[in-house]
Amino acid sequence: METDAELVWKSAVDLTAMMKTGQVSASEVLDAHLDHIAEVNPKVNAIVTIAAEHGRNMAAEADRRQAAGEELGLLHGLPIAHKDLANTAGIRTTHGSPLMADHVPTKNDLIVERAVDAGAVTMGKTNTPEFGAGSQTFNAVFGETVNPYDTTRTCGGSSGGAAVALATGMVPIADGSDMGGSLRNPASFCNVVGLRPSPGRVPAWPKANPWSYLSTEGPMARSVDDCALLLAAQAGPDARNPIALETPGIFFAPPIAEPTSTLRVAWAPDLGGLPVHPDVTAALAHVPQVFDGLGHCVEDACPDLTEAGYVFDTLRAWSFATSYSGLIEKFGDKMKETVRWNVRRGMEMPMAENMKAWKLRGELYQRSVTFFEDYDFLLCPVAQVPPFDVKTEYITEINGVELQTYIEWMRIVTDVTIMNCPAISVPAGFTEDGLPIGLQIVGPPRSDRALLEIAKQFETATNVGARRPVL
């Protein structure tokens, strides 16, 4: 019989297999995680709403189905805490905002609905910055979530609570969302895996602008196989989302095979000239040699992403105005300043500026498609800086280069967002003072399965993700 300490560090793939075969019950697995949360969460503040009884009822139902010999889902019995931007029926959902501190939805968002339908056990919500704005997880409702590798540092964001919950063994799988790095950045800062799928791969509903390709929802986990397991439950078409891709989710289910052929891989350590902190550069210096040792052809190359920053900032402002202008008009200064700034910029933006951004995005996409005619994958850092002081809201300077907005320090992920390609953050190294650094692997459009395969190969070759924090 596994001990509670052993259960919470089991992979999601192994855990659900054990529950399906009756080696352990879903109720026992949940209780082990709840006990672990009680011990660990006060130190990091990752899970901000705990729905223990809700989870116990779901776990009991999972055990009943297993005992009755009923068909069991991909995520049978797996405890999950959903990002606090996702609506959960009967469980408080605050969006990290005092305006919604007491909000209890009556319906699940689609990403929650699919996890529940696949057999997962909802037992809480993970922390996020207010309305997901910024890659630093703090808000006026719950406070800050800290990095388990150094509790004086940030865990990143906006899916920061999810990353920390995974890194500390409080959940085996977690969901998140990513407009400008919110699945990738916290994964890098916390030594876990975060996948930004192809837009439409994981359909979102409800959504203020369902036609937008800017923001995606997706999986996080401690390994590539576990990430693929959750993606298999999340992905697949849904008529309520007009950009949903048709490939069934089961196509992405583990086990994930590793590539068997030689690949041509582009290495872009600063993604075309962005400022990158020396600690990040040093921690990833071995990456080309790893891929070369795996038999792949590695070349220094990068697509031309010159206008990507302008395009992202413009479309992000438009997106924030679409989603939150009504709240700004009603509540004004009760919202975080960075949210207000983004909304104001979107509302005041001339139509000509928006048109220019859409035109440039089309050109950037075509350049990306052309780039991937010559290369199978693009490699670069996930973050331009290592995890920084948790009291610093955002980075304003890198290597002497001054940054003007709260978004600019994340250019290395926001530029990739504009490529409209799937991208994954995989544990890759540590700084000399023990802070995690992730590798960003970008694939051609809609190459999510192949992206998982090369990420799995790198994960197996390096085993960096096996290093756990000591609180």
User: For residue range 397-443, what is the model confidence (pLDDT) as tens digits?
Assistant: 999 999 999 999 999 999 999 999 999 999 999 999 999 999 999 99
Asked whether residue 331 is domain-assigned, the answer is no
Asked whether residue 356 is domain-assigned, the answer is no
Q: Which domain holds residue 158?
A: 4-301+374-466
Asked whether residue 103 is domain-assigned, the answer is yes
> Which CATH number is 220's domain given?
3.90.1300.10
When divided into structural domains, the chain yields a total of 1
Q: What is the pLDDT of residue 158?
A: 97
Q: What is the pLDDT of residue 471?
A: 87
Asked whether residue 311 is domain-assigned, the answer is no
Q: What is the pLDDT of residue 250?
A: 98
Asked whether residue 81 is domain-assigned, the answer is yes
User: What's the rounded Cα separation, in Å, for the pair 150 and 433?
Assistant: 9
pLDDT per 10-residue tile (average), the chain, 471 residues:
89 98 98 98 98 98 98 98 98 96 97 98 98 95 98 98 98 98 98 98 94 96 98 98 98 97 98 98 98 98 97 93 83 81 87 94 98 98 98 97 95 98 98 98 98 98 97 87
Asked whether residue 364 is domain-assigned, the answer is no
User: What's the rounded Cα separation, in Å, for the pair 287 and 267?
Assistant: 9
Q: What is the pLDDT of residue 86?
A: 98
Pairing of strands 264-267, 377-381: parallel
Q: What is the pLDDT of residue 445?
A: 98
Asked whether residue 334 is domain-assigned, the answer is no
Q: What is the pLDDT of residue 21?
A: 98
Q: What is the pLDDT of residue 141?
A: 97
Q: What is the pLDDT of residue 2?
A: 81
Asked whether residue 210 is domain-assigned, the answer is yes
pLDDT tens profile 191-214: 999 999 999 999 999 998 899 999
Residue where the block lists tokens 């990738």: 184
The residues assigned a catalytic role are: 83, 158, 182
Query: Does the predicted model carry a pTM greater than 0.85?
Result: yes
User: What's the rounded Cα separation, in Å, for the pair 13 and 220?
Assistant: 13
